[in-house]
Structure 1
């Protein structure tokens, strides 16, 4: 059976988590569907990673910086290598390029290396979500933002990383909507143990080691839900599945490796752009299960704060910029192009580091050009097991 799912794992640390995900997939009958794309760096033990995939007998490849450079040349897209930032979590975008270049992949998964699956059918849960039909909970607020941790908010009071400060203290309205098969283009699983918070909220929670004093459990999550059209939500890439068709609108953005020193908003802003595109096309992002266990390693909260501060003001506004464009788009590529133009050509001098939004917009245009260059059938089919090609 040829894999139809590209599982992207950015890792410079605990790549052994892949063993648990493979065991879960094998237990529930999904292992043959999966191709693991490990995105790492030259300074990491890539040989051990390859040995792990071989030992697990799963299809996959390991790409450090040198491997990625070789791949760009092989695909004749090395002029676009700048769209993937160096030594950044946003290198998950390379996994998107690899998925796009190999037409066998109908689905993609993002999994962070500091997570583990629960004792449920992890991959099957996401596949089921992507095929979900029927009635589902629909959430909105008077601030046009949905807190993905709203279900037990009165107990924990948490807002996730990337949720705008101006949108707090919102009034939440909960209803229902009916999904048709194919409406769900992305399935966002949430997390137990360490919640995904920004540095300011972690400091307010009393933790200096980048984690959180307040933890989440399964009891904090009840029903899967969608944010209504016109409503935004944070999208975290640590536990996420998506359909191939959204890749043009799901670029993870040029974080960390930029003159403004902006980081930590790659999946947040890409999620904003994906939600806008999905709304324009009448599609949905389903959030909730399957859960993962987030075992974030201790690190200085102030290091994260330094990465987040340069774009904190921009985060309050970027969603409003893209909310005004894209009407009439009939594809994810067209919707994303409209957002790219709005950012690349906009005037944002009134905001701190506003020029970064122009930089992002220009890279979004290059992302679309790179995908167009990959549309030619020049990629090697991804059937190799454990880099034996």
Structure 2
């Protein structure tokens, strides 16, 4: 990183949520990018174990005792001995944006060797619109150096608010246990400089290790389910949250992006342990995906909370037949929303992101160009379209008038 002073962007609007069972020495690597932001650390496992956090960070640390104390009888909806406990940090946050990262994720470098500010890129993604209704073949049209391609409808160029930014990983890829066993040495060394909107109606496997979202717009849907201790399945916490979030985002007309930023995933977890956690999920997934693909939420569901409660009813009615676990999960989904509403009594899905955030982002000195405001970008496109109409239609009008008024028009065609 260059020696220039770092200015945290939207520092009062962002919480960084980290689930962990160990000392957070990895934060030293992230210090140039995280210092100045508020951290919410959720300690999993033994609450009597002391977790060390490097000096200089602004943070709160919560363990299982805190979860029980704060949530009381609702604490059972927060997983134990699983990284799904991170969603307790989502519950406590009062900030507009949340970035969550695992403690085995380090700072990656782009092909030029420059360290990647993952949080900055996530905010760029969240502060510019998504385009879920029509795919742009140059990917994110709001990034510097690109635009909407020929044939993209002007009526769709305003886009929709982006609620989730899903980042990727260099080094150890996020594989399931069977793939890990088949390809134990495989590493991802491909840096793809792209961000794209996931189309409406398309599900995806959301990974929670490098993820940011707009808490105000989609936070209630970011519940990582019942996993870990006492549960029949693990390592499907982020998948479950991603499927729920995506069908709700599609219903509410919100967008999800994937691609940049990259982090460096430092180590592979044990594939045999993973297989024990995953095997029921792998089996159930063949019924879960068709279920989510067929979900249709009623038009009366106008907020994320209403959508999530309705989805919990569908989970109980349809997936409860697959295994009784889904009846418990459906009840936990309702408990989660009750806890959310108690801690955020005035919350509710809003229709659009506040323009203020983008203005603040643009004012912050950065090394790279900031994202373009979607509204201004659309206005520019409409001006361009209108100009094209004037330049194209006016000469044609004159031409056809000439045809109508003067039959001797062949020389005119030749001269054109």
* TM > 0.5 fold call: yes
**Structure 2 partner of 1:247:** 219
Is the counterpart of residue 91 in structure 1 residue 85 in structure 2? Answer: yes
**Structure 2 partner of 1:286:** 257
Q: 1:298 to 1:362 in 2, by over 3 A?
A: closer
Q: Does the CA-based 8 Å contact 1:199-1:305 persist in structure 2? A: yes
Is the counterpart of residue 214 in structure 1 residue 186 in structure 2? Answer: yes
Q: Does the CA-based 8 Å contact 1:131-1:181 persist in structure 2? A: no
C-alpha distance in 1 between matches for 2:242 and 2:171 = 23
**Structure 1 partner of 2:121:** 125
SS of residue in 1 equivalent to 2:235: coil
| Offset, 1:139 | 6.3
SS of residue in 2 equivalent to 1:302: helix
In the alignment, structure 1 segments of 5+ residues that lack a partner are 26-30, 141-174, 208-212, 378-389
Q: Does the CA-based 8 Å contact 2:47-2:65 persist in structure 1? A: no
CA deviation string 1:145-194 (max 9, x = no partner): xxxxxxxxxxxxxxxxxxxxxxxxxxxxxx97866476210101100000
| Offset, 1:240 | 0.5
**Structure 1 partner of 2:26:** 17
C-alpha distance in 1 between matches for 2:228 and 2:234 = 5
SS of residue in 2 equivalent to 1:203: helix
SS of residue in 1 equivalent to 2:40: strand
Q: 1:24 to 1:94 in 2, by over 3 A?
A: same
Is the counterpart of residue 302 in structure 1 residue 272 in structure 2? Answer: yes
**Counterpart mapping for 1:23-172 below 5 A:** 23-25=32-34, 31-32=35-36, 34-41=37-44, 43=46, 47-50=50-53, 52=54, 55-56=55-56, 58-70=57-69, 72=70, 77-99=71-93, 102=94, 105-118=95-108, 119-133=115-129
| Offset, 1:298 | 4.9
CA deviation string 1:210-234 (max 9, x = no partner): xxx2111243x23211221111111
Q: Does the CA-based 8 Å contact 1:133-1:179 persist in structure 2? A: no
**Structure 2 partner of 1:5:** 14
SS of residue in 2 equivalent to 1:113: coil
**Structure 1 partner of 2:281:** 311
C-alpha distance in 1 between matches for 2:121 and 2:307 = 28
**Structure 2 partner of 1:196:** 174
After TM superposition, the runs of 4+ consecutive aligned structure 1 residues lying more than 4 A away are: 44-48, 134-140, 175-179
C-alpha distance in 2 between matches for 1:16 and 1:232 = 35
Q: Does the CA-based 8 Å contact 1:137-1:226 persist in structure 2? A: no
Q: 1:69 to 1:136 in 2, by over 3 A?
A: closer
| Offset, 1:22 | 2.6
CA RMSD of aligned residues (A): 2.6
TM-score by length of 1: 0.74
Q: Does the CA-based 8 Å contact 1:224-1:289 persist in structure 2? A: yes
C-alpha distance in 1 between matches for 2:175 and 2:224 = 18
| Offset, 1:268 | 0.6
Q: Does the CA-based 8 Å contact 1:224-1:287 persist in structure 2? A: yes
| Offset, 1:251 | 0.3
C-alpha distance in 2 between matches for 1:376 and 1:310 = 36
CA deviation string 1:279-306 (max 9, x = no partner): 111111110111000012553x111101
Match 2:336 to one of 367, 371, 380: 367
Rg comparison, structure with higher value: 2
TM-score by length of 2: 0.69
Q: Does the CA-based 8 Å contact 2:22-2:51 persist in structure 1? A: no
| Offset, 1:136 | 9.2
Q: Does the CA-based 8 Å contact 1:137-1:224 persist in structure 2? A: no
Q: Does the CA-based 8 Å contact 1:137-1:223 persist in structure 2? A: no
Give the number of the structure whose residues are more often strand, by fraction.
1
C-alpha distance in 2 between matches for 1:185 and 1:20 = 27
C-alpha distance in 2 between matches for 1:255 and 1:176 = 43
**Structure 1 partner of 2:207:** 236
Q: Which has the higher relative contact order, 1 or 2, with Cα contacts under 8 A spaced 6 or more apart?
A: 1
SS of residue in 2 equivalent to 1:49: coil
C-alpha distance in 1 between matches for 2:259 and 2:187 = 16
| Offset, 1:348 | 4.5
